[in-house]
Every structure is written in structure tokens, then in C-alpha cells.
Amino acid sequence: MRPGSGVAAGGLCQFTNVPAGRDSSQTVRKAGGKTPLEYVIVTMKEVIVTSISAGGSGGEDRLTENITLNFAEVKYEYQPQDQKGAKDGGLLKFDFDVAKNDVKK
């Protein structure tokens, strides 16, 4: 498990969420090259950890970890890439407010 997993698990046991005013974000970054490219960024507001599980699959030597998050709002950003892994066009993004069932592009 990752170092932050214990903190998340503790929060789950106490039914606590990420403090108000602090966003939680997950970033996917392309490895290699001179400038790593962040091509997926997911930013969530009013986040609560609802599930944590660890396991593996047959023949795998690495542990997998699944963390389920619920949130009130999410912003999803995607940067298309060309064949060489460089930026290709503009950033694609949308925001979603769960309570309002409202999507903004």
C-alpha cells in the first residue's frame, strides 16, 4: 500500500472527509522525456473515502490497491498527445456538480 493509504484508511474508519476548502486531485503523468506531461488531472471537492481494498490477481507479484471516493464536485482535464507523447491540441475539460446535476464544459 502507498504511504498515504494508512491516513485514508484512518479517515474511513472515522467517517471523516477531506477538510473543507481543500481539494483532492489525482494526476496521471507521462514518464520520460525532458518535460513530463500531465495528461489527466482529476480534481474533486468535498471528498470522502468510502472504501479501501487491497489484493492481487493470479500470477501478479505486485499488490493492487483500490480506493473509492465520493465527491460533491469534480473537474476532469485531459491533454491529448501526439505519437511522440507531446501535447497535441488544447486541453479538454469539464466540471460536474453532483448536487445540481450540472455539467460545464
Domains by residue range for the chain, with CATH: 5-104 (2.30.110.20)
Per-residue pLDDT tens over the stretch 25-56: 888 987 776 778 899 999 999 888 888 888 87
For residue 58, the model assigns a pLDDT of 73
What count of Cα atoms within 13 Å lies in the side-chain half-sphere of residue 63?
Answer: 8
More confident residue, 64 or 10: 64
**What ranges make up the beta strands (E) of the chain?**
24-30, 37-45, 48-55, 64-70, 73-78, 92-97, 102-104
Residue 22: pLDDT band (50, 70, 90) is confident
What is the rounded distance in angstroms from the CA atom of residue 72 to the CA atom of residue 86? Answer: 33
- This prediction has a pTM of 0.71
pLDDT at 95: 97
Going from the C-alpha of 73 to that of each of 18, 42, 57, 95, 101, the distances in angstroms are 13, 10, 32, 7, 10
- pLDDT tens digits, 67-96: 888 999 999 999 998 888 888 999 999 999
